[in-house]
Amino acid sequence: MRQEARGERGQGSRAAGTEGRSAAAPVQGGRAAGHGGAQRGCARAGGQGSRHGGAQRGCARTGGQGSRHGGAQRGCARTGGRWGEGMRRGLRKASLMSHPQTQPENATVNAADTLRVSIVIPCYRQAQFLPEAVASVVAQTFTDWEIIIIDDGSPDDTAAVAQRLIAAHPDRRIRLIRQENRGQADARNTGIRAARAPYILPLDADDMIEPEMLAQTVVALDAHPEVGFVYTDVRRFGAENNILRTRPYSLDHLRFENLMMPATLFRREAWEQTGGFRTSKPVLGYEDWDFWVGLAEAGWEGLHIAQPLLRYRRTAGSALSTARCYDLELRAHIFLDHWRLYEPDVLAWARRVTSPEWSVDGKLRSPWRWLLAYLGYLALIRRYYPLLLLPSLVRPIFWRLPIPWQGRLRALARLARLQQ
């Protein structure tokens, strides 16, 4: 059974007008490119749900495991790398029938106390970082939020630290949910199911957000109803210190390379329609990328804010670092799971890599098999997205370097681009 400790506001909601108090950063991506300058807010007549009577978003995730892996069975009309608009509308309608929207667990109906953002913080063996993550949310200029801390069966004092944070901020909406250890993806889903806001921000316990993060990303989602998720540039710190300038949103790019960190603001509606973060073994470590691809498959656009509003802690031995040792295998599973977005020869490569003849327990059987899979993947990238050919070529070596060396090579690459 889950045990919840809640820290609720004692004096009701803050003024709704604070949500748009700061000017937004230049925004790029998807159809929304060009909406720079001072961003406009969205008149929320009847609350966030007012737009849901129009064209709803969704994902026609029809076809079982077998149909996903069918070679040329591609259900999307892709012209010039983008889906046909008619197919988008059909997928969204089908998804709404397959994934009806539900009321958030413990939802409140008091309109005067409407939340806009639920920040979900899973924590496992990172209690020492939790106060910094919570403090970064408390410091937000946007105030209509709640925090849901998920103690994912952590053996350290995560629960005690969370209780102290709740007691230290009695005027803030902070809750604790405890569960047996089931992994980060499951912990995120647990927190989102308990969330009471239409917008969700997953925040790893060892990361932080800048004071303007929520203000700017909420304004972006409000202003662009076709957008399902908003991401920003990233400031790395810890074992590596630099700024990651992420790219404007592109579906073609996202198909082959993750564009964003887990701390990306998205609509709860989109999470419901795609079934949430996958908790099965084939994509563990890459479950956030798998989720973003699922949102794009459902017809949602992405949006990029060109400011470093996320602080991402770099540490050796992280789950992502471990997962990258099996990068090709994980990519193959993502391609097969979202087969509508990929060409027949890409799916053929993925089926080969994941076949029992090539892989066992999610790992390629031998260095020879790995080399063949790697060369095959490079050929696909050269054909369908040559912009990623050089990064794909050096990735296996780069990721095996110590983190400080990765930072030095990134600095050299930036210097070389400046001198061109």
In tens digits, what is the pLDDT along the chain, a chain of 420 residues? 444 444 443 333 333 333 333 333 444 444 333 333 333 333 333 334 333 333 343 333 333 333 333 333 333 333 334 344 444 444 444 443 333 333 344 443 343 368 999 999 999 999 999 999 999 999 999 999 999 999 999 999 999 999 999 999 999 999 999 999 999 999 999 999 999 999 999 999 999 999 999 999 999 999 999 999 999 999 999 888 889 899 999 999 999 999 899 999 999 999 999 999 998 877 778 999 999 999 999 999 999 999 999 999 987 766 666 777 889 999 999 999 999 999 999 999 999 999 999 999 888 999 999 999 999 999 999 999 999 999 899 888 776 677 777 777 777 776 665 554
CATH superfamily of the 3-21+115-315 domain:
Spore Coat Polysaccharide Biosynthesis Protein SpsA; Chain A (3.90.550.10)
DSSP 259: -
Q: Which H helix or E strand runs over 243?
A: strand 242-244
Domain spans of the chain, in order of start: 3-21+115-315, 324-419
* C-alpha span between 68 and 298 (Å, rounded): 15
DSSP 385: -
The owner of tokens 């992994």 is 183
Q: Within 10 A of 38 (CB to CB), how many other CB atoms are there?
A: 8
Question: Residue-wise over 239-258: b if at least 16 C-beta within 10 A, else e?
Answer: ebebeeebbbbbbbbbbbbb
Q: Within 10 A of 227 (CB to CB), how many other CB atoms are there?
A: 26
